[in-house]
Amino acid sequence: MMESITPESLLWIWLLVINSIAYITMSMDKSRAERRRTRHRIPEKNLFLLAAVGGALGIWVSMYTRRHKTKHRSFVIGVPLLLVLNVLVYGYIIYRWFS
């Protein structure tokens, strides 16, 4: 018999998907920056939005694996802070609602 998808597993799926999207989006912006296609770059506010809704780990990993935005103070400070916030918020949700 097939198990139903639990709310907890949906949360983990969400985190996997949003971090994958964040990583890919940051990587796309790096590729566009290298080709000097400034008109089609991804706005920084969109990258921060992805980080704020749960994709901070994906953005952070992409920053350092692709060496993108590592000299921007707002990213060097802001993304780790959003990562801590993500861990606190999603950790609280998992602890409070699923245990």
Range(s) of the domain holding residue 13: 7-98
Task: Confirm whether 2 is domain-assigned.
Answer: no
Mean pLDDT over the full length of the chain: 93
The structure's pTM equals 0.90
Whether 86 is covered by a domain: the verdict is yes
Identity at 19, one-letter amino acid code: N
Q: What is the pLDDT of residue 3?
A: 74
- Domains contained in the chain, number: 1
Interatomic CA distance for residues 57 and 85, integer angstroms: 11
pLDDT at residue 26 tops 70: yes
Segment 52-68, tens digit of pLDDT:
999 999 999 999 999 99
Query: Could you tell me if residue 46 is inside a domain?
Result: yes
Share of the chain above pLDDT 90, in %: 80
Establish if 1 belongs to a structural domain.
Answer: no
Rg, the chain, Cα only: 15
pLDDT at 92: 95
